[in-house]
Chains A and B, each alone.
Chain A
Amino acid sequence: NAGVMQNPRHLVRRRGQEARLRCSPMKGHSHVYWYRQLPEEGLKFMVYLQKENIIDESGMPKERFSAEFPKEGPSILRIQQVVRGDSAAYFCASSLRLSSGANVLTFGAGSRLTVL
């Protein structure tokens, strides 16, 4: 049972280009979360999605960032017109709700974006 798969693991973009990060959740998980970790800082929640729906995007920057989780295929975090401040590690997590009401997240290894 593969874990949460993220690709690419490393991505280099020049300012103004687009970055697309992909996340395949664990088998059977229908909830996906994206987090960003700036260098030497903590994890910041960005967005929570279920299949074909954005449930909470309160942590997403208002411009240039978008996320989707289509019916088929991986979740995509898209950053348009990247700037140097977008350089960070982007982590995806998926979850399977437990009958107890707990919500345990399984994280991927992350995608590291470097903007030149």
Chain B
Amino acid sequence: DAKTTQPPSMDCAEGRAANLPCNHSTISGNEYVYWYRQIHSQGPQYIIHGLKNNETNEMASLIITEDRKSSTLILPHATLRDTAVYYCIVRVLVGSGGGADGLTFGKGTHLIIQP
């Protein structure tokens, strides 16, 4: 799997958009980008995933650059409850081979929403 690089921490004011970057310069064509978050002491929570195109759901938007070497997770109106560690994960499509289907979590970005 492609390795990802994320800043260790970020601050964002409540009500503003939180933009979390992720570099995955070695990503290959059959690898998805997934974002999860873990609020303190809770189980990780799926946020969004994408392959090539930008994606949006009720939680967030995912912007993937045209060369797919980086992406940005956008929380449009951050609240205090969005304070969490956010993980950017790259993983091959199911059925593409490459071993385990489990996700590998790195250190992520600790996003702190300031009141």
Contacts and interface: CB of A to CB of B under 8 A. Distances in A.
B94 A101 contact: yes
B91 interface: yes
Contacts, number: 75
Interface string A41-64: 011110010000001101100000
Contact of A48 (B41, B49, B102, B104): B102
Nearest to B91: A103
Given A101-B93, A102-B32, A102-B93, A56 B46 contact: no
A69 interface: no
B100 A42 contact: no
Nearest to B103: A105
B107 interface: yes
B94 A102 contact: yes
A115 interface: no
A103 B101 contact: yes
B44 interface: yes
Q: How large is the interface on A (under 10, 10 to 19, 20 to 34, 35 or more residues)?
A: 20 to 34
A109 B101 contact: no
B61 to A, nearest CB: 17
Given A101-B95, A101-B96, A102-B32, A110 B103 contact: no
Contact of A104 (B30, B42, B46, B51): B46
A69 to B, nearest CB: 14
B43 A42 contact: no
8 contacts: A42-B105, A45-B105, A56-B102, A102-B49, A104-B34, A104-B49, A106-B46, A107-B45
Interface of A: 4, 31, 33, 35, 42-45, 48, 55-56, 58-59, 89, 91, 93, 95, 97-98, 100-110
